[in-house]
Amino acid sequence: MSKIAFIFLFIGSLSIYACTNTPGTGNVTTDNNDGQVVSLTTATFQKLVWDYKASPKSWVFSGDEPCIIDFYADWCRPCKMVAPILAELSKEYKGKIRVYKVNTDENRELAGLFNINSIPVVMFVPKSGKPQMSVGALQKNAYVEMIRNILLVNVEPAK
């Protein structure tokens, strides 16, 4: 009897987990800048941000707009707190910056490339100059300040 109860409990738990919308993965597309967060793989990172294999010794940004890159994992609770903030910022700064996400569990090469040992890490990549990183979950106003001071130098969000 206890084995049967355990099986039903296990299946029920899986069903609930599978049917919930995890904030860390919601609102993700694969291309364009329609105000959505774009999920990157190693290949798309090389195309849209930096082809580190073509220029391994120097940072050469390949994007057309400054960007934010959220290095996260689905199991990371602080990452789940940051995801909706970045989704809001992606919409608010539509047409001015792009927001990308990189799953560190699925893209270990990228995590290793930037020596990411703790998540979340949010990278701010200006069109010219070196990227800057922020480690840990921050409040929205801190991200807005970094966008203004690193990426857009006091440009206001779209209304």
- pLDDT of 34 reads 80
For 22-152, which CATH class?
alpha beta
Q: Which string of b and e fits 69-105 if b means at least 16 CB within 10 Å?
A: bbbbbeebeebbebbebbbbbbbbbbebbbbbbbbbe
pLDDT confidence of residue 156: 58
8, two tokens? 């039903």
Nearest 5°: the CA angle 90, 138, 65 is: 30
Per-residue pLDDT at 20: 33
Give me the catalytic one of 37, 40, 68, 79: 79
| pLDDT above 80 for 154 | no
pLDDT at 158: 61
List the catalytic residue out of 37, 69, 76, 111: 76
Q: What is the pLDDT of residue 95?
A: 94
For the residues of the chain, what is the DSSP string, one character each?
-HHHHHHHHHHHHHHHHHHS--TTTSSEESSS-SS-EEEE-HHHHHHHT--TTTSTTS-----SS-EEEEEE-TT-HHHHHHHHHHHHHHHHTTTT-EEEEEETTT-HHHHHHTT--SS-EEEEE-SSS--EEEES---HHHHHHHIIIIIISSPPPP-
Q: Which residue has the higher pLDDT, 147 or 6?
A: 147
d(Cα 116, Cα 127) in Å, to the nearest integer? 22
- Is residue 132 scored above 50 in pLDDT? yes
pLDDT the model gives residue 32: 53
For residue 5, is pLDDT > 60? no
pLDDT tens digit string along 15-44?
Answer: 333 333 333 334 444 445 688 999 999 999
Residue 116 pLDDT exceeds 80:
yes
Q: Domain boundaries in the chain?
A: 22-152
Task: Say whether 79 is catalytic.
Answer: yes
Annotated active-site residue 19? The verdict is no
Q: What is the pLDDT of residues 48-100, one digit of tens each?
A: 999 999 999 999 999 999 999 999 999 999 999 999 999 999 999 999 999 99
